[in-house]
């Protein structure tokens, strides 16, 4: 095919495609201006997962490049910088395909091959035009490239399985704001959106789910009881995100983890439940200073004077098990691994480090706000 003819075909496909596939692709793009839609690895042990973390772990599985199967679906949705680069080449001609002509098109993974020159070609097919394209990798073997988390994968591609699963599970659900930073679409800004602070515990109903970005594939549009709309960009399985979990400890991006953005129960309700449980525990303690505290994996865990004081006052103490700390302070706002230890962090500034047996070995306490 002549270059001019090939380019014209690509441009035509980019703007028009087939009506059915174009409609399917358009369904992935949602904004806070849309009318309310209708529905038609973590390394952290299970016992320390918050309900929100468990939701992500059980429903969104990380897949390294080596685990991609033929037919795995992606959306070409490059950043502004990536749009200017030649990310892909045509499989027939070997010539660069203008990234802008592929933008918002669904592509299917078709496996990889190694060329005579030792380059790796990750092959894809554009779903609506059947154009065969590839992404080229040099100076590294396939297995080594698969093992990369930061800087690996394929630029410009959004993993659609996360988006599809999120749409299935989240549409119409009610969550509560667990972070003050959300966003609102605004075409007058360079990025097309702006930050929108909202109060913690704001009740939010999911009205639409669509494509976000490579790093944060799922755009979750929510509405308050007053009819205000916001959105959050969420990282779920981290497939092809090019980011490592440690990157999310940065306060500038922490809100993009689902469990940091949303909670299933408002903190106020959780706090009342915790206090009620502790009052019952206090009554039991007065009758028997060695009240047994059921604790998975710790059959000999009893309330001591120190741990009792913590349970009643809402303070954690060294020697408490994870269940005791939950009784004292409720569910942690953030949980992460640090070597062989587990760290729980609360938004009042309390940080608790547990050993491999789940017993608190270091506690930095601050008064509850």
Domain spans of the chain, in order of start: 3-30+65-146, 161-263, 267-364
Burial class (CB in 10 A: 0-12, 13-18, 19+), 323: middle
**CB within 8 Å of 283: residues ≥ 6 apart:** none
User: Strand pairing of 351-354 and 341-345?
Assistant: antiparallel
One digit per residue, pLDDT tens: the chain, 369 residues?
444 444 344 444 444 445 555 556 777 877 776 544 433 344 444 446 889 999 999 999 999 999 999 999 999 999 888 888 889 999 999 999 999 999 999 999 999 999 999 999 999 999 999 999 999 999 999 999 988 877 789 999 999 999 999 999 999 999 999 999 999 999 999 889 999 999 999 999 999 999 999 999 999 999 999 999 999 999 999 999 988 877 877 778 889 999 999 999 987 666 555 555 555 555 554 455 444 444 444 433 444 545 555 555 667 888 888 877 887 787 888 888 888 889 998 888 889 999 888 888 999 876 544
User: Strand pairing of 218-223 and 229-234?
Assistant: antiparallel
Residue 327: the pLDDT is: 75
Torsion, Cα of 352, 354, 360, 361 (10° steps):
-90
Residue 4: the pLDDT is: 41
Q: Please count the other Cβ atoms lying within 10 Å of the Cβ belonging to residue 102.
A: 27
Residue whose pair of structure tokens reads 């929108």 in the numeric block:
196
Region 161-263: CATH code = 2.30.30
**DSSP for residue 154:** -
Residue whose pair of structure tokens reads 């320390």 in the numeric block:
48
Residue 78: the pLDDT is: 93
* 161-263 matches 267-364 in fold: no
Nearest to 194 by CA among 158, 248, 225, 230: 230
Q: How far is CA 168 from the centre of its chain?
A: 16
Residue 246: the pLDDT is: 79
- Answer yes or no: are the C-beta atoms of 212 and 218 closer than 8 Å: yes
In 3-state terms, what secondary structure has residue 254?
helix
* Angle CA 69–70–72, to nearest 5: 70
Residue 123: the pLDDT is: 98
- Answer yes or no: are the C-beta atoms of 47 and 358 closer than 8 Å: yes
Q: What is the pTM of this model?
A: 0.67
Torsion, Cα of 139, 63, 14, 94 (10° steps):
20
Residue whose pair of structure tokens reads 């497939």 in the numeric block:
239
Which two tokens mark 149?
């988390």
Query: Is domain 267-364 in CATH 3.30.1450, yes or no?
Result: yes
Helix axes 267-287, 322-329, angle to 10 degrees: 110
Whole-number CA gyration radius for the chain: 25
7-14, long-range: CB within 8 Å, 24+ apart, which pairs?
A: 7/98, 9/129, 10/97, 10/98, 10/101, 10/129, 10/131, 11/101, 13/101, 13/105, 13/126, 13/128, 13/129, 13/131, 14/100, 14/101, 14/102, 14/103, 14/105
Residue 152: the pLDDT is: 84
Cα distance between residue 221 and residue 37, in whole Å: 10
Residue 39: the pLDDT is: 33
Residue 253: the pLDDT is: 87
Identify the helix (H) or strand (E) that includes residue 162: helix 160-170
């Amino acid at each position: 095919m002549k270059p001019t003819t090939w380019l014209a075909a690509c441009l035509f496909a980019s703007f028009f495609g087939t009506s059915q596939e174009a409609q399917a692709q358009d369904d992935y793009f949602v904004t806070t201006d849309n009318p309310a839609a209708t529905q038609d690895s973590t390394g952290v042990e299970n016992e320390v997962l918050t309900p929100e973390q468990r939701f992500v772990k059980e429903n969104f599985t990380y897949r390294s490049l080596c685990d991609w199967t033929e037919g795995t679906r992606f959306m070409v949705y490059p950043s502004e910088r990536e749009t200017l680069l030649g990310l892909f080449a045509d499989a027939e001609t070997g010539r660069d395909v203008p990234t802008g002509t592929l933008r918002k098109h669904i592509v299917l993974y078709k496996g990889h091959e190694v060329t005579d020159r030792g380059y790796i070609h990750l092959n894809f097919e554009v779903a609506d035009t059947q154009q065969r394209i590839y992404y080229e990798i040099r100076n590294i073997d396939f297995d080594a490239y698969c093992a990369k988390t930061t800087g690996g994968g394929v630029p410009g591609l959004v993993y659609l399985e996360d988006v599809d699963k999120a749409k299935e599970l989240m549409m119409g659900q009610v969550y509560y704001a667990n972070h003050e930073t959300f966003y609102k679409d605004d075409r007058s800004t360079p990025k097309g959106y702006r930050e929108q602070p909202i109060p913690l515990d704001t009740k939010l109903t999911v009205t639409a789910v669509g494509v976000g970005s490579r790093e944060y594939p799922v755009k979750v549009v929510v509405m308050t009881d007053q009819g205000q709309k916001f959105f959050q960009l969420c990282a779920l399985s981290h497939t092809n995100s090019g980011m490592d979990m440690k990157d999310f400890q940065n306060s500038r991006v922490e809100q993009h983890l689902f469990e940091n953005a949303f909670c299933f129960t408002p903190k106020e309700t959780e706090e009342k439940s915790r206090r009620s449980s502790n009052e019952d525990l206090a009554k039991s303690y007065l009758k028997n200073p060695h009240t047994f505290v059921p604790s998975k994996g710790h059959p000999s865990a009893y309330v001591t004077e120190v741990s009792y004081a913590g349970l009643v006052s809402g303070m954690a103490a060294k020697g408490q098990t994870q269940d005791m700390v939950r009784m004292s302070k409720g569910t942690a706002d953030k949980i992460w691994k640090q070597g062989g230890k587990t760290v729980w962090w609360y938004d009042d500034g309390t940080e608790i480090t547990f050993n491999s047996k789940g017993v608190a070995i270091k506690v930095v306490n601050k008064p509850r706000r």
